[in-house]
Structure 1
């Protein structure tokens, strides 16, 4: 996603083909969530999420 935000045009093709190989509903939901949030926003939320994983 960071490459896509930086303007690398081939990244979208990789994202699209990778998403088609996802099998489980949770994998598909995680991919959708990752693609729907800006990289800076995701990075800002990492500390809160990491605290819940411990």
Structure 2
């Protein structure tokens, strides 16, 4: 384990799918905080659905 934290900003769910945790912001406020634990393909699909629902 590298024991490092990386903060990345993206609008692409395929890239975000590589993260362990996603924090969604809207108008500068946190609207959702999601932990991911599936495969990148599953995560990308789940993130796309979540973004469409927000």
Q: If the length of structure 1 is used for normalisation, what is the TM-score?
A: 0.32
Higher strand share: 2
State which structure, 1 or 2, has the greater radius of gyration over its C-alpha atoms.
Answer: 1
Q: Which structure carries more helix by proportion?
A: 1
